[in-house]
Chains A and B, each alone.
Chain A
Amino acid sequence: MKRLLHEFTKGITIENPTFGLILGLCPTLAVSTSLGNAIGMGAAATFVLVCSNTIVSSVRRIIPDRIRLPAFIVIIATFVTMCELIMKAYAPALDVSLGIFVPLIVVNCIIMARAEAFACKHGVGASIFDGLGMGVGFTLGLCVIASVREILGAGSIAGKQLIPGFQPATVLILAPGALATLGLLIALSNLMKSKKSTCRACRKGGCG
């Protein structure tokens, strides 16, 4: 039980996909314009991550090593398609605002990376918790970025006006704001880490 809990919490803290591993950047930047979008994207990615981790770890002994990557892609793409159809049916507004980034969950590095680095080496239980932890960590990372951008860029949080008469800096909602916010937040998390320990590895980036 303690081990499972560890798999869950490591995705939120040390190996946080956004600030620790620096994975899955494209959706992180593109959909973090508002808190609502961020939570929707996070939930979709978590769903796909948990499902694909479960399936990958349960068929890991059947899949020949040479074709494992195409097999992972098919598994992930299946769940992404399911997610897309569910979202179209039950949350059409969210589907429109996330747009092209729903099908693009397929190429989100976090999911592929977890399948390759964790799920194909561990049992089903551990993989589910790993997927959940990573998904929640990704969602939290998205929410932090989205909150900063929405509060400063639109003067609201989850669509609600915060301070009446506040003149928001629209640039934060637009593309440059996203890149600058993420850059500064990663720098901040590096700063906090370096105060705790002299962790050189945290600077290394993964693929996006």
Chain B
Amino acid sequence: MDFARIMTIAVSMIFINNFILSKFLGLCPFLGVSKETKPAVSMGLAVIFVMTCSAVITWSIYNYLLIPFGITYLRTITFILVIAAFVQLIEMVIRKFSLALYRSLGIYLPLITTNCAVLGVTILNVDDFFIQGKPIPGSFFFATLQAFFAGVGFLLALIIMSGIRERLELTDVPPSMQGIPIAFIVASLMSLAFMGFSGFKF
């Protein structure tokens, strides 16, 4: 496989096109779960896992089911249902086999279904790695990688944000800025920092 292409996808997904900070995908858990570092890490890992697996599943469905039957316009419905069913399945499996893991991840799993980052990455995969209904060479591999690194970027942003918000608890914030507004300002400054990777374009 082309190593340069892999590195490009990795750097682009983690830093330049970070899902949260430059594409605004998955802001919901980003604001909801970033109050403390530990749950943030669990959530990030769960997202990486779900994203990678859903990318594998949706790519296969798109390539082997939707394209041969010419029903690619059903992709939104199919993808969201597959993701929802998959998340439910994972939840059941984890509850059955590891109660400790279920306790630390459990409550975040249902939230992932409505995480736009997961649906977003599967749709982006289909847009990026299929040309006129045909997968490009190495399409499956790239799609999986793109989803994995998008998840890593998500985890990175979540960890940084939760670290900052833990400190923010101790500071004196004006009453009307407390909570969500100040979190947005912090996210904005983080996003400004991440823009350094892509550079300003005037």
Contact = CB atoms under 8 A, between A and B. Distances in A.
Interface stretch (B41-49, B133-141, B181-189): B181-189
Interface string A78-119: 101100110000000000000010011011110010000000
B114 A78 contact: no
B28 A26 contact: yes
B131 interface: no
A191 interface: yes
Contacts of A174: 195
B25 interface: yes
B114 A207 contact: yes
A61 interface: no
Interface residues of B, number: 50
Contact of A100 (B30, B120, B180): B120
Contacts of B77: 74, 77-78, 81
Q: Is the interface of A mostly helix, strand, loop or mixed?
A: helix
Interface string A191-208: 100100000000111011
Given A73-B81, A77-B76, A190-B176, A26 B184 contact: no
A38 B29 CA distance: 23
B180 A180 contact: no
A183 B30 CA distance: 14
Contacts of B127: 100
A56 B199 CA distance: 46
A204 B29 CA distance: 14
B80 interface: yes
Contact of B178 (A70, A108, A180, A203): A203
Interface string B31-62: 11000000000000000000000000000000
B25 to A, nearest CB: 6
Interface of B: 21-32, 73-77, 80-81, 84-85, 111, 114-116, 119-120, 123-124, 127, 174-185, 187-189, 191-192, 195, 200, 202
Given A183-B185, A187-B176, 15 more contacts: A25-B24, A25-B31, A27-B24, A29-B27, A74-B81, A80-B76, A103-B123, A107-B116, A176-B188, A176-B191, A179-B185, A186-B180, A190-B175, A190-B177, A194-B175
7 contacts: A26-B27, A109-B28, A174-B195, A179-B188, A180-B188, A183-B187, A203-B179
Interface of A: 22, 25-27, 29-30, 69-70, 73-74, 77-78, 80-81, 84-85, 100, 103-104, 106-109, 112, 170-171, 174-180, 182-184, 186-188, 190-191, 194, 203-205, 207-208
Closest 10 CB pairs of A and B: A183-B184, A208-B28, A179-B188, A180-B188, A187-B181, A191-B176, A77-B77, A176-B192, A190-B176, A30-B24
